[in-house]
Amino acid sequence: MKKNEYFLTAAQAKALDKKAQDKFGMPVLLLMENAGQAVAQAALEILKSRPGKIAVFCGAGNNGGDGFCAARILLAEGFKLQVYLLGKTRDVENEARTNLDILLRLKQRIMEITPEKLGFVKNKIRKSGLIIDALLGVGVSGQIRPLYQRVIDIINASGSYVLSVDIPSGLDATTAKPLGRCVRADKTVTFVAKKQAMAYAQGKKYCGRILVRNIGLSASSLRNF
């Protein structure tokens, strides 16, 4: 552990997001845009040595919103994307919905994953050079639902390079315990500071290489937090 290295529990990470909005006046949409930019930049570095199709797996919450944002930036760079939503388009709300709507207006196809489509998804992502995991963020707790577990199994068995957004989906951001299933990432882009799970050997195993990126807030923002 590096000197003065910060680690945030899930509760602290959520509280810091609220502080960014209430004290610093930073809207969620700006934080999401900055997060998406950080993920897209990490993806572009990976794609230099691992060309191929990109598959982006998004949930309906803010972690998924980061994924939609990153997908839009990569689309603007000329990459072809497969974007998967674990849930219904109609259920995506707020800032995540804004980023989803932009993708839809850009004519990017969004596939809603249902149990019946799992076989298709499994075959489709085999040729992907990169999978971006934006299914579940730091706020997840308790056993994740069976459909999420099955999708995570497909991602882990794909053989593709996996980049997780903030925390590998299914990993408890505080305790480093898998919540039924957990994505095994090759690299994780986390925001502001490492999460507490990343201090443990098990957490590091699931996260792979960890990149910390500020999204308008940095570790210095945590002083007196």
**Could you give all domains of the chain from N- to C-terminal order, each with its CATH number?**
7-220 (3.40.50.10260)
* Host H or E run for residue 84: strand 81-85
First-to-last alpha carbon distance for the chain, in angstroms, is: 20
Which amino acid would we find at residue 202? Q
pLDDT of residue 22: 84
Confidence of residue 220 (pLDDT cuts 50, 70, 90): low
pLDDT of residue 223: 60
Confidence of residue 51 (pLDDT cuts 50, 70, 90): confident
Q: Is the distance from CB of 57 to CB of 133 less than 8 angstroms?
A: yes
Rg of the chain over all Cα atoms, to the nearest angstrom? 16
Q: Helix, strand, coil: what percent of the chain each, to 5?
A: 45, 20, 35
Rounded to whole angstroms, the Cα distance separating 57 from 17 reads 23
The answer on pLDDT for 85 being more than 90 is yes
pLDDT in tens, 4-23: 688 999 999 988 888 888 88
pLDDT of residue 172: 97
Pairing of strands 187-191, 161-165: parallel
pLDDT in tens, 93-127: 999 999 999 999 999 999 999 999 999 999 999 87
Helix (H, G, I), strand (E, B) or coil at 96: helix
pLDDT of residue 2: 60
pLDDT of residue 92: 97
pLDDT of residue 109: 96
pLDDT of residue 4: 65
The answer on pLDDT for 221 being more than 90 is no
Rounded to whole angstroms, the Cα distance separating 54 from 81 reads 5
Other Cβ atoms closer than 10 A to 171: 30
Rounded to whole angstroms, the Cα distance separating 172 from 169 reads 9
pLDDT of residue 74: 97
